[in-house]
Structure 1
């Protein structure tokens, strides 16, 4: 891989996250109509597109050799030996379009083999920005953050997300087992924002049924750098993902493997 200045890349990512957060917080223009992509549960707004266009323009100017993979505009190839960026301009568009204050901006940089190098996830509504560079720990608004020290799922929070509008295979059995253990489950509506709650120590664990790099890779790196256990450590596209606080990981993994055979 060609050498990359991760400090410079992080500065650009953080600045873009601040700009995107400000843009997302603005009152929506009534003319910003919601449009379907692949169906009624997969939608896009003009804000999604405007944020991604701006991010692409800035990154292309600053890192012309890098590729870009985005939620709204697909893949722009870079040099084969250069890293590539992954961007989800508004992760949680359904919440955003309906005025629910739980969505995020997600941006990450990955090596040519897919290894995450840096990640930024911004929460516009709470003024929080999570960040991490591989091997340097995780940060929340510039301060170190760590996964919770909980030793059990019982009495704590487990976050998950639908597969668009539907349950994913094994989800119902997993939720039933968590309920038996008095673990409270929440479905909030933004994959990136749900996953980084493990890094913040707010959720003891989180899981998704289908991993997508544009909204999952930055949050995965941040959670791992905060000390969370990931199963698998780096999922393939479409694979399930489990994140858990380190001392509760054995219990979470046992349930995960029991309810999702083959995992």
Structure 2
């Protein structure tokens, strides 16, 4: 059984504490569905409460570290080399609709590089965790990306642009290109979990654009520590900004990237 480092213990404890609060709130969401305004306000409050719990737990353990928070923005710490990157509720729309697929994600950045990450899915008590150079794990089981070699056998995850977000016109040719070549496409609505699922071999690949650093920071490290590849869709350096993400195992990363890039070129030419 793999032992977690002191820093990972801090991160998992914070995620679990916030997770307990969110699970209680999730139980209330269904009761609010009758009112139009109620659920969204309630979920915003749950999101903020989760962030406050995480921030308090992490600050207690490492008071000098800064933060990059989905809700609270950037907060400088007295130690400029370390920063927590936190999404207290990834999959807000799922949560709002009573769909049990959402997560808490925390990453630690040291001198600009992600060195540890957790993605915690509290409904099923699945704690995905990783540390640079030490592998990736689900609870106490070592993770490896899938071994599938051919796109026709592959299950690919994506994120679909929605109202007011993303480039719909650029995305549709990409989706069409991938649809024609793979065994299935899934859009589950929580990018941090999509990446954790690639690390666990549940998905063979994942692509999305217009994400944020807190959506991808922990998951990208998880994929690479589980033996996969994570780049931007164009093939360049791991996209910590989240602007463009392509993650897959070593066999499928190149063919999937080629499909997506060619679809983009056709769109530009057309």
| Shorter-chain TM-score range | 0.7 to 0.9
Q: Any residues of structure 2 matched to 1:1-263 within 5 Å, and which?
A: 7-26=5-24, 27-28=27-28, 33-35=38-40, 44-79=43-78, 81-113=80-112, 115-165=113-163, 166=165, 168=167, 170-232=170-232, 233-237=237-241, 239-261=243-265
Unaligned runs of 5+ in 1: 1-5, 37-42
SS in 2 for 1:131: strand
- Contact 1:25/1:124 (<8 A) preserved: yes
Change (3 A) 1:157 1:167: farther
Q: Deviations over 1:154-210 (max 9, x none)?
A: 132111113454553532111111121133111111110111110010111001112
Q: Deviations over 1:224-252 (max 9, x none)?
A: 11111111342152521100111212211
- Contact 1:65/1:82 (<8 A) preserved: no
Tell me the distance in 2 between the aligned counterparts of 1:58 and 1:238.
26
What is the CA-CA distance between 1:118 and the residue it aligns to? Answer: 0.3
Unaligned runs of 5+ in 2: none
**Structure 1 length-normalised TM:** 0.87
- Contact 1:70/1:214 (<8 A) preserved: yes
- Contact 1:134/1:221 (<8 A) preserved: yes
The aligned length equals: 250
- Contact 1:211/1:235 (<8 A) preserved: no
What is the CA-CA distance between 1:44 and the residue it aligns to? Answer: 4.8
What is the CA-CA distance between 1:80 and the residue it aligns to? Answer: 5.4
SS in 2 for 1:181: coil
- Aligned match of 1:39: none
- Contact 1:45/1:97 (<8 A) preserved: no
What is the CA-CA distance between 1:48 and the residue it aligns to? Answer: 0.6
Tell me the distance in 1 between the aligned counterparts of 2:206 and 2:55.
30
Structure richer in helix, relative to its length: 2
- What RMSD over aligned residues (CA atoms) do the two structures have, in Å? 2.2
SS in 2 for 1:101: coil
Q: Deviations over 1:111-138 (max 9, x none)?
A: 232x111000011122211100011111
